[in-house]
Amino acid sequence: MPHCTRGGAVAATSGRGPSVAALLGWASRELAACGIPSPAREARALLTLACFGDRPAPSSRLSPFLRGRFRRLVAARGRGVPLPLLEGRTGFLDFELKVWPGVLIPRPETEGLAELAIRIALGLPPNPRALDLGTGTGALACALARARPDLLVLAVDIDRRALACARWNVAALGLESRVELRRSHWFSQVPERFHLIVSNPPYVARHEFSALPHEVRRFEARQALDGGERGLEALVHIVQKAPERLFPGGWLLLELAPGQGEDLIRFAQATRCLVETRVEKDLAGKERYFIGRCR
């Protein structure tokens, strides 16, 4: 989406300013002109945000203060700032996460990875241990810890901002006693072994980076997305090192991009330690998840 700098005026229908319905109509048109999908829905969400959670009636009027807030939010969204960043939060499975600028906003595909990981976690022996590599907001670590009360999770990231955001979410969800956060370059600070390792590492191929939507390229951390020349750098590193950190029979689950599965399975088989390797599809029918087990 191009950088959008519209500044259309909304007509005042009385001396008290335009009605909420007129403001919503204006905002929808502005957002549509900036290429925002579902502009009417997003306009309503921004209005609720501007009004601190209230949903004013269509015929009501906003105070100049709230109207100013609403206009600024619409302008920011028009420039491509993702809605979850404006709201400061996003939903993940059945819970809410705080999101911060520079920390990847969890995606629906990753909910699929979390569901697969939870299914496996529920079948593990008592007091199992899981590792979330590149935890970002802490989405996967929190989903796992919430799903199984005797599970201990170590969540690592190289990025201090991500760790701070994850720390916030872990505390807000009351999981401090079971989710440990640690700064680490993948396994470098992780000597322990685990029953389950899960990761959504950066996997965008360098040549595909420019094709990502403007709001992703401009507002999401490159470090969270850039997977090197073919997008496989982090994935291959994790597949090669994971067997040393898994208990026998332990599981490795990774998110990947369609088209990377076959290569990754080849790398996994070359380790001679990972067996039962396969790739599963996401809800959109695209190959998205690598699964393997430690011999």
Ligand X SMILES: C[S@@+](CC[C@H](N)C(=O)[O-])C[C@H]1O[C@@H](n2cnc3c(N)ncnc32)[C@H](O)[C@@H]1O
- Which spans of this chain sit near ligand X (rule: CB under 6 A)? 104, 106, 110, 134-137, 139-140, 156-159, 162, 185-186, 200-202, 223-224
Q: Which is nearer to ligand X, 31 or 162 (CB)?
A: 162
Cross-sheet strand order for the sheet of 194-199 = 179-183, 152-157, 129-133, 194-199, 246-255, 287-294, 274-281
Q: Which is nearer to ligand X, 30 or 282 (CB)?
A: 282
Q: Which is nearer to ligand X, 133 or 152 (CB)?
A: 133
Smallest gap, in angstroms, from Cβ of residue 284 to ligand X? 17
Close Cβ partners of 158 (under 8 Å, ≥ 6 residues apart): 134, 183, 184, 185, 186, 223
Smallest gap, in angstroms, from Cβ of residue 9 to ligand X? 39
Beta carbons within 10 angstroms of residue 88's beta carbon: 12
Q: Which is nearer to ligand X, 13 or 189 (CB)?
A: 189
d(CA 188, CA 202): 17
Q: Which is nearer to ligand X, 137 or 277 (CB)?
A: 137
Residue of 129, 232, 149 whose CA lies nearest to 190: 129
Q: Which is nearer to ligand X, 19 or 137 (CB)?
A: 137
Q: Which is nearer to ligand X, 24 or 256 (CB)?
A: 256
> Helix 64-78 to helix 20-33 angle, to the nearest 10 degrees?
20
Smallest gap, in angstroms, from Cβ of residue 210 to ligand X? 18
Smallest gap, in angstroms, from Cβ of residue 117 to ligand X? 11
Close Cβ partners of 223 (under 8 Å, ≥ 6 residues apart): 158, 159, 202
Task: Report the run of H or E that residue 112 belongs to, with start and end.
Answer: helix 108-121
Beta carbons within 10 angstroms of residue 199's beta carbon: 26
Smallest gap, in angstroms, from Cβ of residue 104 to ligand X? 4
Smallest gap, in angstroms, from Cβ of residue 68 to ligand X? 33
251 has which bridge partners? 196, 293
Strands (E), 18-157: 89-92, 95-98, 129-133, 152-157
Smallest gap, in angstroms, from Cβ of residue 202 to ligand X? 5
Q: Which is nearer to ligand X, 166 or 294 (CB)?
A: 166
| Amino acid letter, residue 260 | Q
Smallest gap, in angstroms, from Cβ of residue 152 to ligand X? 18
d(CA 99, CA 84): 7
